[in-house]
Amino acid sequence: MRLWARTAASVTRIQTIFPEVTTDLATAAQGADLCVLCTPVSAMPALAESLAPHLSANAVVTDAGSTKANLVQTLAHLLPDRFVGSHPMAGSDRSGFDAARADLFEDAITILTPTANTSPRALEAARDLWLAVGSRTVEMSPEAHDAAVARISHLPHAAAAALVNAISPEGSRELLALAGGGYRDSTRIAASPPALWSEIFLENQSAVVAGLDDLTAALNELSGLIRAQDGPGIEAFLAKAKTTREFLR
Amino acid sequence: MRLWARTAASVTRIQTIFPEVTTDLATAAQGADLCVLCTPVSAMPALAESLAPHLSANAVVTDAGSTKANLVQTLAHLLPDRFVGSHPMAGSDRSGFDAARADLFEDAITILTPTANTSPRALEAARDLWLAVGSRTVEMSPEAHDAAVARISHLPHAAAAALVNAISPEGSRELLALAGGGYRDSTRIAASPPALWSEIFLENQSAVVAGLDDLTAALNELSGLIRAQDGPGIEAFLAKAKTTREFLR
């Protein structure tokens, strides 16, 4: 296995733990059966274009990007007959090599997004990789992926950031000093990298905006019930959420 | 130490671990220096009224309720010169004796809510209790408490429930199967007891409604930025949340 990193500083840092790392794409790609693109989605097309001439005849390429519809179309064109999209649903609010964990993918789910044109060989190689690092896999179209992750991943990130900004618009330390586990858990992902998430929200714009509309509607429904002092109505709203959430226990 | 429980079934369950438990208030209160009311807020006035005749001359009473302004006024009247309000900011989405943990209050913060009429003796006894079980304490008025917890505790609970209901209105198991740590963390408290939280939202109605208004405004701001494809604006919104959230690291 070899790693490619964009900057010499990253290479120096990574080398203290893993020696096979380079800033040179040709060196990194040489003889590889499988390449995984792990940059922000916006950087992937240029990276794929630079990578293409250095790939072995049978090399397969996949990625770890958070949005798929636009990206898969672009990369399938740049890497014909050897690309399939992947999205491992794992990670945290931290980024960079220092956030790496050996068990990151254990019990996680990875979404593979083959299309009618995807080579079965590419799909199989990518699936084998994600299974080998401990995740389960599901397959869906790039468009179905984007609609699903808008709900299950992008909307919670947007909500966490809005919640933090609504609670303490001046970043009141007095108020934050009172925070218990509820605040901590429900806002943890508000500490995620802003540039990465701005890009994800724009890449998946219409589905994220639709999700935000639904969330605002749900909040208005709850607020209306509280204003009306409708105890049974509030309880039914909360019981519905509890029942849904408990599917995950 | 003695425990009081409302039902014989609870007493039977608790006795397997802690023998000094009874459904009889007089027995539970006899000779006690300090009594802590740990029921839903709506049950406390009747409980305090039943408890009052059984208290020793110097006994102090405090509580663990989530709202304070109305409650402290009522209980201070029923238990003159011996009551002070407390709110330990600890717990989880679980309830009942089986959710008990020896380290529940460690590193938690407990808010004490004395008023101009609170006996210094009562305040000191309650403060000593919460410090002894491992929490830190802060003091504020019952009204300031309710405004603060509406933001730092009640609003996150309302948001988590709305987020779950918005994401999967039909409780779609297919979608929930994709949930990663972000969804799990930001919605964990949506599994909290509906009856308890309905009561809290009603008890603290105006502050919770104001918080929901601010949250809706923040979501509309973010949605507007995404619709306008304003990358720097989205990034600034997320960066503000990240900075605030990182105070808690």
Nearest CB among B163, B184, B240 relative to A165 is that of B240
Tens-digit pLDDT profile for residues A96-141: 788 888 899 998 899 999 999 999 999 999 999 999 999 999 999 9
Tens-digit pLDDT profile for residues A74-83: 999 999 999 9
**Confidence label for B249 from pLDDT (cuts 50, 70 and 90):** low
The secondary structure of residue A237, as a DSSP letter, is H
**Confidence label for A94 from pLDDT (cuts 50, 70 and 90):** confident
| CATH annotation of B145-246 | 1.10.3660.10
Question: Hey, what CATH topology would domain A145-248 get?
Answer: 6-phosphogluconate dehydrogenase C-terminal fold (1.10.3660)
B57 at the A interface (CB within 8 A)? Answer: no
Can you tell me the mean pLDDT for B126-142? 96
Instruction: Give me the pLDDT at residue A93, please.
Output: 65
Question: Which CATH code, of 3.40.50.720, 3.40.50.620, 3.40.190.10, 1.10.630.10, is assigned to B3-141?
Answer: 3.40.50.720
User: Which residues in chain B have their CB less than 8 angstroms from residue A237's CB?
Assistant: 161, 165
Residue of B nearest to A184 (CA): B248
The secondary structure of residue B106, as a DSSP letter, is T
CA distance B235 to B206: 32
Asked whether residue B127 carries a pLDDT value surpassing 90, the answer given is yes
* Those residues with Cβ within 8 angstroms of residue A55's Cβ, 6 or more apart along the chain or in another chain: A29, A32, A35, A61, A79, A82
A209 with B226: Cβ contact below 8 A = yes
ipTM above 0.90, yes or no: no
Q: Which amino acid is at A30?
A: Q
Nearest CB among B156, B165, B168 relative to A182 is that of B156
Tens-digit pLDDT profile for residues B182-226: 899 999 999 999 999 999 999 999 999 999 999 999 999 999 999
Binding-face residues of B in 144-163 toward A, CB within 8 A: 148-149, 151-153, 155-163
A83 at the B interface (CB within 8 A)? Answer: no
B187 with A235: Cβ contact below 8 A = no
CA distance B150 to B159: 12
B228 at the A interface (CB within 8 A)? Answer: no
Q: Do the beta carbons of residue B8 and residue B35 sit within 8 Å?
A: no
Contacts of A121-128 with C-beta under 8 Å, sequence gap 24+, read A121/A58, A121/A60, A122/A60, A122/A61, A122/A62, A122/A81, A122/A82, A122/A83, A122/A84, A123/A84, A125/A33, A125/A34, A125/A60, A125/A62, A126/A34, A126/A60, A126/A62, A126/A84, A126/A86
Q: Do the beta carbons of residue B244 and residue A165 sit within 8 Å?
A: yes
CA A218 to chain centre: 25
Binding-face residues of A in 191-220 toward B, CB within 8 A: 191-195, 197-199, 201-202, 205, 208-209, 211-220
Can you say whether the dihedral through the CA atoms of B47, B48, B52, B54 is positive or negative? Answer: positive
Angle at B202 between CA A176 and CA B207, to 5 degrees: 40
The secondary structure of residue B22, as a DSSP letter, is E
Chain pair A-B, CB pairs under 8 angstroms:
303
**How distant is the Cα of A95 from the closest Cα of chain B, in angstroms?**
13
CA distance A28 to A23: 8
Domain boundaries, chain B: 3-141, 145-246
